[in-house]
Amino acid sequence: MKLLAFSILTVLLCCACDASYQASKEQPSLSTPNILWLVAEDLSPIIPAFGDDTVATPNLDRLATEGVRYTRVFSTSGVCAPSRAALATGMYQNRIGAQHMRTTNVSGFGIDGLVPYEAVPPPFVKMHSQYFREAGYYTSNNAKEDYQFRKAVTAWDDSSLTAHWRNREPGQPFFSVFNFNITHESQIWVQAKNPLRVPYDLDVPIPPYLPDTEVAKQDVRQVYSNIVAMDEQVGKILDELEQDGLLESTVIFWFSDHGGPLPRQKRLLYDSGLRVPMIIRYPDQWRAGERDDQLISFVDFKSTALSLAGIEPPDYVDGRAFAGKFQSSESRRYVHAAADRFDRQYDTIRAVRDERFKYLRNYYPERGYYLPLTYREQMPIMQELLFLRDQGKLKEAQSQWFRESKPLEELFDTRTDPHELHDLAHDPAYSDKLLELRAELDSWLSGFEDKGMMSELDLINEIWPGMEQPVTSSPTAYKQYGRIVLSSLTPGANIGYQILGPGKPFDSTWKVYTDPLQLAPGMRLIAIAHRIGFRPSSMIELD
């Protein structure tokens, strides 16, 4: 029964649509609501709120009862760093050179000539948090960054293990992010040394592409055990919000950074790697208990968070606001995704999905889907898969992943085939859908220069000439009408500053420079400039 429930879960989510949803419903009006992101890692929609009752998640159940469940939400990559680049910028990772997993830490990959580097978005791009800071919000991130570039010095008031909205000035609105690592892929083997949070004989659903063995079941039990622990961590944050009297002035997002942690989930562009659960609790429980089936992409999150705070999103983003003051009047018809290098293994796949069908284009069809990754092979279920493969004991659904090649194009009906095992690309009955999604992918890719279509070494040389990181020009200053005006010769440089004096020493938080500054007698000003992807400038000091 558990296997049946797991298999039809996605079908149920795709088919049903809550008639109570009305896009025209008036949203609650708060001039400066707080925005809180609670971000789990490596998690598909396998919790009770999305139809899987394997374990209890009372805190997420509460959020779902008081909020809205969004059932068709997709990351832009099946792995974290490229997806987080899209969340932070509102742009597709393969548009800004952030598509390879990962760029800033490549030690041990063994790729000739590859050096650690940072993606360099266009000069007009600023991180989501900086827009909030410029609007007077306090911004905190606890604590994962992993954007494929170093955060701008002006991005956060605090990004650390102790970052919290409680560190802000009294009454100041906040944009705060908390990340929950406990559901990460690595925690399947790391947490194995600790007692399970679920029964040791818990009946768990095993998707058909994984072996139904005791070794596999134990790892899947660990996945659910980690979900239980994550739910408790979410509950602690919600308790703190209530203790501070902030529940009804805060928009709470809970979601995961991409799909599940298991083999043939993470790193792939199947729904098992891209589809994420999301719940948003709005102030005063607006739309409480509803489900929303609209298509949502990670590139939409930045615009939506700003829109809910009454801040107009920038026009350069690839996404659209699906809620708030600047909500788009048009619904999405498609979401898009990209897969590129994972650790030392290169592959290039692009995908487009509508409400039902998924189209995949494989740029290296001569290569198999399975990419040997030392990191993933620490997982017992992965070791089990490889053992059964070598013994010739895999079932057809399990052996597909280990094919030595793959077709140039694939098409799946995610309603009737939620695990994407039956390719329809050569079925004449689906030729119209194949042509439609093929054309949509072409249209998407024609809208920008896909950085995944060049070699990574060429990409690095393009953004870091000579494979040396460019340096942001130091700020220059002049006085105008008695105020200090700061600028940098580097296009897109963000300028941070501090005004210091007696009793006010230097600290790690840079204020965002937006307007000329008044410097009182006896005070001194220090400033720094930083374009994303460049090295920060040296500091200047004025008194």
List residues with catalytic annotation: 80
Query: Please, which residues have CB within 8 angstroms of residue 262's CB and are 6 or more apart in sequence?
Result: 188, 207, 210, 219, 220, 223, 272, 379, 381
Pull the structure tokens for residue 222.
Answer: 């660990």
Instruction: Give CA–CA dist 351/420, Å, rounded.
Output: 13
Q: How deeply is 4 buried, as exposed, middle or buried, from its count of CB atoms within 10 A (0-12, 13-18, 19+)?
A: exposed
Query: Please, which residues have CB within 8 angstroms of residue 392's CB and are 6 or more apart in sequence?
Result: none
Instruction: Give CA–CA dist 8/419, Å, rounded.
Output: 10
**Helix, strand, coil % over all residues of the chain, rounded to 5:** 30, 20, 50
The residue written with tokens 């209890």 in the block is 56
Pull the structure tokens for residue 403.
Answer: 């094919």
Cα→Cα distances 90→96, 260, 267, Å: 10, 22, 20
Residue 95: closest CA among 542, 368, 454: 454
Instruction: Give CA–CA dist 472/538, Å, rounded.
Output: 8
Instruction: Give CA–CA dist 519/476, Å, rounded.
Output: 16
The Cα angle at residue 228 between residues 222 and 229, in degrees rounded to 5: 90
One-letter amino acid for residue 422 of the chain: H
- Are the C-beta atoms of residues 412 and 357 closer than 8 Å to each other? yes
Instruction: Give CA–CA dist 420/416, Å, rounded.
Output: 9
- Are the C-beta atoms of residues 197 and 228 closer than 8 Å to each other? yes
Give the count of beta carbons closer than 10 Å to the beta carbon of residue 438: 16
Residue 520: closest CA among 484, 485, 493, 488: 484
- Strand stretches in 470-509, DSSP E: 476-480, 483-487, 494-500
Whether a cis peptide bond, with omega within 30° of 0, leads into 102 is yes
DSSP designation for 451: G
Instruction: Give CA–CA dist 272/279, Å, rounded.
Output: 18
User: What is the SS3 assignment for 326?
Assistant: coil
Instruction: Give CA–CA dist 539/28, Å, rounded.
Output: 44
- What does 173-236 look like in DSSP terms, one character per residue? -EEEEEEEGGGSTTHHHHGGGS--SS-TT------TTS--SHHHHHHHHHHHHHHHHHHHHHHH
